[in-house]
Structure 1
Amino acid sequence: MKEIFDSKFPGTHGGAVVLTGSKQQRYGGIQTRLVPCSTFKLVLSLVGLESGVIPSAKTVWRWNGELVGRPEWRKDMDLAVALQESSEWYFREVARKLGEKRLRITLQELNYGSGWKGKRPEDAWIDGSLTISPQEQAALASKLAAGSLPFAKEHQAVVRKSLLLQKTGKYALWGKTGSSAKDKNGRSLGWYVGAYTEGGQDIAFAIVRHLPDIIGPMVREELVKRLTQ
């Protein structure tokens, strides 16, 4: 297995967990819980599909025309596009439709991080009311890779396919990034959570780093570079 994380990885602090079957590689602060940022949209996709809030992966949701957020969000989109673009308006609407009670109960059943202690579902992944550690993120990704989360296998397959970044003759990689705004110390947070398949074996990972201006896609790009070397 390739060494996908070491002291030379961009950024500071944070941690990483790599799971290969029963084997585990751990680096840094893997038990520290942090806001999940947009990695939580992976969970919202599964809960949305399972509950019927998202009728199907091909259901197109209509953009309301508000000129907010990134330009690439300003369009109609289905689930795959929403995940690939990490659309805020799409997943805030999913969270609102799921509602406070259903979201809270589902996260308790998943044993997701700290559990959700907030009141506004549409802010759950950014307002500090929900936190999760790299260790817990990697365990979730490992179960999703195996299709063993408590959701229909077809829904888990849809999410993995929607998050597929690269597929070659040697490996396939899927994952979800997450990025925070700068904190009072000028640091931002960058997550990448997912799995890659190499030699028929699923290898799950969760990486989080801190650094001025570091964001999830930067973490993802470094991982891809290491996988393809």
Structure 2
Amino acid sequence: MRYYLLLILFLFLSCDFHGSTPKRSEEFKNEIEKILAKQDLKGTVLVFDAKNKTYYSNNFELAEKGYLPASTFKIVNSIIALETNVLKDENDSLKWDGQKRAFESWQKDMTVREAFQASCLPCYQEVARRIGVKRMKSYLNKLHLNNMDVNESTIDNFWIEGKSRITPVEQIDFLQRFYTKKLPILNSTYDKMLRVFEKERTSEYIYFGKTGWSQDNNHNNGWFVGMIDKKPNVYYFALNVEPNDQKNTSKFAAGRELATREILKLFQIL
């Protein structure tokens, strides 16, 4: 009897929350590698076909490796801020304090949506400070994001430096739990966050995406994560890459999204 109970538990834990174990495929490995190389990138891309429960990647080993979340954490930061009323909605104003910022485009008052899309680091550092350590840790626990190193000294930088880590697999898991309303958040937060997150809408699909870039000990690492709602299917993606030459990042800013879009076209998603 005990044996059968253990067997049932193992089968349950080995499945995703839809009740079946997703398949894995490296069918387009060579094509993905060529697309990354065109942008002077190396790393991994993970695409999840939700309808057919299949993961595609050029490197599943790297897809299970943890990296600093960088600005992809703005997704989580926004959700927690909306849940705690630190931010009211996508049109709430984030005021510029008049101090010089890394980019001139950040030197103005911005709406939440504008700050998210422009990846305004100082804006979201202020948001994190207003959330505070106690509430941040509480919500990270509720959201099952337990590898974030949050304390009083790291509250406004833990996603861009230090010990915090997230894997491409975990990025997709979180995005899927968010988009299928499996997170313990209000429906109003969900609706507001979709309006913050959306990049593009056509008659065929809705496209959500967020970049991230960290420089840990002068080592550049970058993300592009998101999802494509192309009814009746939804596709989730997480790209994590670094430049082939760490001293040459001329293509890195734009290359992450360009490469991802080419890969999504390869899969006939875009």
Q: Give the TM-score normalised by the residue count of structure 2.
A: 0.76
Give the aligned residue type for 1:55: K
Could you say which residue in structure 1 is the equivalent of 2:234? 202
Partner of 2:213: 179
- Retained in 1: the 8 A contact 2:35–2:263? no
CA distance in 2, matches of 1:56, 1:91: 14
Match 1:71 to one of 104, 109, 116: 104
Mapping 1:10-159, distance limit 5 Å = 10=36, 11-21=40-50, 22-28=53-59, 29-112=62-145, 114-118=147-151, 119-159=153-193
Figure out how many residues of one structure are paired with residues of the other and give that number: 226
Alignment correspondent of 1:7: 33
Letter in 1 for 2:75: L
Secondary structure class of the residue paired with 2:145:
coil
Residues of 2 paired with 1:109 and 1:206: CA distance? 22
Task: Give the root-mean-square deviation of aligned CA atoms.
Answer: 2.3
Identity of aligned residues (%): 24
The alpha carbon displacement at 1:34 in A equals 0.5
Following TM superposition, by how much is the alpha carbon of 1:7 offset from its aligned partner in structure 2, in angstroms? 1.5
Shift of 1:177: 0.4
Q: Indicate the larger mover: 149-158 or 89-98.
A: 149-158
The SS at the match of 2:94 is coil
Report Cα offsets for 1:155-192 as digits up to 9, x if no partner. Answer: 223222222222222222111100123744xx411101
**How far apart are the structure 1 equivalents of 2:41 and 2:178?**
28
Query: Does the C-alpha gap of structure 1 residues 113 and 24 become closer, same or farther in structure 2, counting only changes over 3 Å?
Result: farther
Pair 216,40 (structure 1): closer, same or farther in 2 beyond 3 Å: farther
The question of whether the paired residues in 1 share the 8 Å contact of 2:35 and 2:262 is answered with no
* CA offset digits 1:112-170 (Å, max 9, x no partner): 15232543211111122311000100111112222322212232232222222222222
Q: Which moved more, 1:208-217 or 1:171-180?
A: 208-217
Match of 1:191 in 2: 223
Q: Residue 242 of structure 2 aligns to a residue in which SS? A: strand
Larger radius of gyration: 2
Please list every run of 5 or more consecutive structure 1 residues that lacks an aligned counterpart in the other structure: none
TM-score, length basis structure 1: 0.88
Paired amino acid for 2:119: S
For 2:57, the aligned partner's letter is R
Q: Judging changes above 3 Å, is the alpha-carbon distance between structure 1 residues 67 and 58 closer, same or farther for their aligned structure 2 residues?
A: same
Q: CA deviation at 1:208?
A: 0.4
